[in-house]
Structure 1
């Protein structure tokens, strides 16, 4: 069966190809009734756009490529929700890909989608990309005038729009809060120390200790260059060979593992041990006790990232922007 083209649809309605293209892309130049009629016919005939042809004619596909490091993280799910909501409102579609923290996968995805499939990218940099400091694929995008918006994990040396969380101040504020509640020995469990966000959270923790005249105790600080995954309890257990009355964790799964160990040792939460963790996911709401968290507002980050990219695509902004989203502490039962 022959694939239907824009020209076929135009001939059917006795209109120009340009009119059909505008109708399919929800242009305000075409009446709503005409757009709906053309879209219904295109759907009935299983029309699919030729992205390469669109690219050659310098027409936008109104599609955004999203690349996230993994699909298991609740934070990234919230960011995706924010992106999708904003993109849909503005008449854009999204294609979501997972890098699995692989540099090669990230490069392949960008090369594939850069051939006229998407107009621009929103992405959080893969761990391997950051650790190997290999950024030519991002530079290539910019050279082709394909806009990028990075979020969460970003590359300072790449001149593109960025939406970030103030991870440094998030940790400082967490230490301030715990100190104000009477905690004097604050532990820290951090993963992915090769990533900028891991380093910033740890540096913020140290700054928070210094600001509050609290002693740094290496015995109650754990930093690794790995993602914990299923090793949460094994990683955090050595902390409990020492005395501390608060814990800041870079991951809520680590925090929940720590609360489990504390419970087994008869340590009462929060009267004897306060626990705070980054992210604000489903686990935090349903743990026992319910976990206090440092909320990164993933949905807001997604909305801002999508808005930045669409504004750049539609020439509403030309300058490079870095937006910082402040965190806040969501208090539940695991902290004083």
Structure 2
């Protein structure tokens, strides 16, 4: 028996194709461009526009795409030992409406709209425009020639819209991880992440890692045995200041002081939050010498400080009885 997440996919595909073909000819008649009257390029543009408009009409079913993605991710997480969040298509709609309202069903709608217009515009427009030009003479009634033309155009349209589809899938994945984070079983967000990576799915983005670090901090998961940390470094997201600061904070939160300092020391981006995370992390861990040392490095690099910095440093000075540094800090106010 097919998995339950396949049903929305089947319904969506069948309905999408029906709407595409139904509206394509309608929009073609509406634009009413003719090659002999308006010229080839105007007629060609009309074919592209009618194909894109037909594709856009299929977005009436975009909520099925959202439901299909959520059920597929739910099934992947369940295979890794997690619990199913949804019991079927209707349950996806019900729970999404309860948590986010109707807007929750249209996450990724804008990028989906752009992607489907590009794909269907090229798919229908190129075929309708090239068919009367290429399939002439002996090729006019040739099944293999028609098949070859359709195959080339389908692949070309897919390649042209692939970058947009990648963005859409990443948005869907991040949305699913965010929902798991806010659910009763946030650990399933990490199961979903692992499942997507193993299956060769969409590559995560910086927003995904920010959410995953939040999951690790809330569940004391130690960055999933440092797997997330290594992925961040491998993919270059440590150059994102927000991901970089989140990684430093979570490593300190988990008690990985040396790894946190290593990430800080090797990082190519730093700001006040980075320094404060390190100083206050050392102070909270009772490593007051480390907090004072980081503060001294901060002064040498002429980095700006604020009240949060001073709280961590003065707390460390009081514990370490470093009155010399205390007096220097006090003189700044």
Please report the TM-score for the alignment, with normalisation by the length of structure 2.
Answer: 0.25
More strand by share: 1
Name the structure, 1 or 2, with higher relative contact order (CA <8 Å, separation 6+).
1
Please report the TM-score for the alignment, with normalisation by the length of structure 1.
Answer: 0.25
Larger radius of gyration: 2
